[in-house]
A and B are shown apart, each in its own frame.
Chain A
């Protein structure tokens, strides 16, 4: 693996760690945390810090260090969990996320000095530069004072230590303070900007005091190699500090900095690295020579071997590898290159086509049904589902970004919003997930900026001061429904209407239904924000949202009630590669109508269809009239039926024009089809969403129901006089 690849893994793990910390803090905010919640947050920040150190991201490392120190105090219950603290930690997490982004993509590191001061101020031992990086006012960082030092350790003891073998009674004095930990950083701990003194500093921050520094291994100048670790330490740790808290400090460096704990243990032996250590994070090579440290009398094998047994893993792995067992253990997993996965999906798509072709061929040979064919069909479907499920991800990964958006909005608009999330484990295709982020962000900003009122307005209306934003996701008949609901003011239709008139989007005397007015907010260049804020109000939001959702093959609908709130519903396909559709015949053409649009299909009685003017027809569906659109006229097919009662009408839902009835000759199949882009193979064609290969090998066009119906209605239904 190249260092770049390992760094890539580090960033992936950073994302995971950030998400873990975010959900942990969310639990703290909701008051549902337990001991392990804080532990999990600490581990997450700790592993980012470790990687940051290994890869030399100094700003990131310095910030995580302070963050982690505070978390450590929280974990030790030295600092109580209060709403103020959780708020501070959340803000720190946001800045941490920015730091990670800067480390990954470059740019200017976020301004964190004041936040670091705040974090330090919140620490249990709020000394001015308690956990500051080495450079800052180091004298103040010591957590023990001169008196401690002189009363518990006399200089003679130290002088003896320097000779290499301290008398046992001196150790006993140290022990009286608490317990002993022995540390020996090896060369690996100093590689890639690693600095063992930072670890020792953390140890001292816990209240530990140095009992012994073994300098016996330091060679004379002639043999000196700046890459080696020659020093070893024994620290005395106060009784009330837990062993785990100390182990956590050294967790990340693992075998590069072995520790031994217990009165009978000794400083781990010196382990010299190959001279001139090889470059970055490749696992440490086997030592050429192991020089045992001057063994202390009556010091048998370490009572508790501290170093993990595993071989030294590459830096980012170490954090997860040595995490305490209390961490939630996810199932085993491997990382796969997306390109490989896409290729698999492509091949499965071809398999679906080949299977359909085989079925068709057998049918032509009068083999109507065979057990093998049924088996093949079900296996193909299984393979397809498995392949899809590999790409599937819980939508929680998108939802998890929302709290941060809300926090930023709260600080910029003063509107505090209570977030409720349902169905975050609902899975959908990775491509859909990736492209969902932007429209969702827009909708949420919109809901807070336009929907939810200011606290004063809310109180005046008898609502709680805090708005409620509800996000939910669920599967419904092969699609996924995502709802973004706020309990705000709802759409002010009168204002939307007058704004649309003002913008010249509609005429002042237009008669419009509530839904039609609501849909105006999706028009390009439309915005009713009284003042342009940096949140929204530039009128580029909602039309972009609709375009994004449309690109995903989905639809967006609005339900709004004045004074009660607004709900945006996104209906999305589970995957973009394979879809269900109706294969229809229109004259000499075979076309596919995506099932996502279909409401019902029917063969109308002559009385159900009524003429409207010279060339328009309306279908009466249970008392409601919807326009009949002749597909043949739109796609230019010849020889199609022109009388609706001789053909079949497919009632479809569209985004811009409500429901319409597509007139086709007949429906002859409903099956899965693999979507082949027309844009990449030919060019974009209005009214056509793409193409697919049918079982008999012919190419069929997939209708873009939205644009087809919209253009038909514009041109007067496109129906020849019936």
Chain B
């Protein structure tokens, strides 16, 4: 399972930088996303994560407390962390 690691600061710039990586990883099976070091997260990255989970074979995310909190704040916990969702 291919793992993509998210940086500490997941702002729009990080989202832009990671988009090609995710696109390249399409078709290699379900993804594992390591977000355990993420300190800060913005809407663009949340959208990207949702998009990743809805595309191809889906993805599982290992969240940091910051990401968990952001997900709870936005009501996105299910969309991000439940199952692998594709």
Contact = CB atoms under 8 A, between A and B. Distances in A.
Interface of A: 133-135, 137-139, 141-142, 149, 155, 158-159, 161-162, 185, 190, 193, 195-197, 200-201, 204, 210-213, 215, 218-222, 224, 226-231, 233
Interface in B56-84: 56, 65-66, 68-70, 72-79, 82
B73 A158 contact: no
A142 B66 contact: no
B2 interface: no
B50 A215 contact: yes
A307 to B, nearest CB: 18
B3 interface: no
Most chain B beta-carbon neighbours within 10 Å: one of A195, A197, A201, A226: A226
Closest 6 CB pairs of A and B: A210-B75, A138-B69, A226-B15, A221-B55, A213-B75, A220-B55
Contacts of B15: 226
Given A190-B12, A219-B51, A226-B12, A134 B41 contact: yes
Interface string B1-22: 0000000010110011001001
B73 A197 contact: yes
Given A213-B79, A226-B16, A226-B44, A201 B51 contact: no
Contact of A230 (B42, B47, B56): B47
Contact of A159 (B19, B65, B78): B78
B13 to A, nearest CB: 9
A141 B55 contact: no
Given A135-B66, A215-B50, A221 B56 contact: yes
Most chain B beta-carbon neighbours within 10 Å: one of A133, A161, A230: A230
A627 B52 CA distance: 94
B54 A218 contact: yes
A135 B40 contact: yes
B42 A149 contact: no
B33 interface: no
B7 to A, nearest CB: 12
Contacts of B16: 226
A212 B26 contact: no
Contacts of A218: 47, 50-51, 54
A139 B69 contact: yes
Contacts of B30: none
Contacts of B48: 224, 226
A220 B74 contact: no
Given A190-B12, A204-B73, A219-B51, 20 more contacts: A133-B40, A134-B39, A139-B65, A139-B69, A142-B73, A155-B82, A158-B78, A190-B42, A193-B11, A197-B46, A197-B73, A218-B51, A220-B51, A222-B23, A222-B55, A226-B15, A226-B44, A226-B48, A228-B47, A233-B74
